[in-house]
Amino acid sequence: MILFPQAKINLGLNVLSKRSDGYHDIETCMFAVPLYDVLEILPSDKFSFVSSGLDIKGEVEDNLCVKAYGLLREKHNIGPVYMHLRKNIPMGAGLGGGSSDASNVLVGLSQLFDLNLSVPLLEEYSAVLGSDCPFFIKGGAQIAKGRGEVLAPLDLSLKGKFVKLVNPGIHISTSEAYKNVLFGERCSLLESLQTPIGKWQKELINSFEDYVFEMYPEVASIKQNMLSEGALFSAMSGSGSTIFAIYDVEPEKTFEFLSEWVLKL
């Protein structure tokens, strides 16, 4: 079985307040984009996990894919598998690659072992693994609230437009970003998204940008360069450090020494 975990961008990300459980209440629109990892899952005599592509730091047992397998093994007593993850989506980049990988492991194992797990149950399981994991069970465009796990589908199409992603190779610690975030005002993200894209630059904010741009001015300059070359809208995704921009026409690749993708939506 081969699956293709997909990246996401955040169209606005408003961090509203810190909760008593240590998490933060947020409001954002997560939007899936066609940048993929590749995940292979096969039945095996013993469990193993290997990866290729981008180097994944840390111990194997801490990988979200391994944790996703452990969760379903505990809940449903599934057998051992071989997993190979080809990592293309950069990590610590605000694109949700690790969360997407974990959610796809749950979906793949449900199919492989004929568990027939419902979408709500898969979302419930994935929320144990990470706040934005539930989004990747269905993908598309969804408004996320709570700590990111309270989801509502959004009828938003960017079909025919182009998105450019630029990752400067700076790993932003999510916990550090939350420690330094400035809480946003309670504005209507949904109303802002229903305005023409040309107005999004003034309407949509990412609460993490002030901190990240102050710490890493080169990230801010990427956003400004994209706007200068005619982007309809540009912002940082998640807690960074990837900057994305949306265009009417296909843009050129202009960041020679950085990881850069131009994708048709």
Alpha carbon separation from 14 to 57, 102, 194, 212 (Å, rounded): 29, 25, 17, 15
At residue 122, the 3 state secondary structure works out as helix
Along the 265 residues of the chain, how does pLDDT read in single tens digits? 999 999 999 999 999 888 888 788 899 999 999 999 999 999 999 999 999 999 998 899 999 999 999 999 999 999 999 999 999 999 889 999 999 999 999 999 999 999 999 999 999 999 999 989 999 999 999 999 998 889 999 999 999 999 999 999 988 888 888 888 877 665 678 888 989 999 999 989 899 999 999 999 999 999 999 999 999 999 999 988 999 999 999 999 988 888 999 999 9
The reply to whether 101 belongs to the active site is: no
Domain boundary among 108, 131, 153: 153
Which member of 8, 87, 164, 223 is catalytic?
8
The reply to whether 8 belongs to the active site is: yes
Q: Report the domain count for the chain.
A: 2
Domain boundary among 88, 122, 153: 153
> Among residues 85, 265, 57, which one has the least CA distance to residue 165?
265
Query: Cβ neighbours of residue 135 under 8 Å, at least 6 residues apart?
Result: 8, 30, 96, 99, 103, 142, 144, 148, 151
Residue type, 25: D
Domain check: are 17 and 145 in the same one?
Answer: yes
Domain check: are 57 and 116 in the same one?
Answer: yes
At residue 131, the 3 state secondary structure works out as coil
Tell me which residue range forms the domain holding 103: 2-153
Which member of 101, 132, 164, 223 is catalytic?
132
> Among residues 264, 259, 209, 265, which one has the least CA distance to residue 234?
209
Domain check: are 22 and 149 in the same one?
Answer: yes
Residue 26: how many other CB atoms lie within 10 Å: 24
Domain check: are 105 and 78 in the same one?
Answer: yes
pTM (2 d.p.) = 0.93
Domain boundary among 153, 179, 214: 153
Domain check: are 244 and 172 in the same one?
Answer: yes
Domain check: are 98 and 199 in the same one?
Answer: no
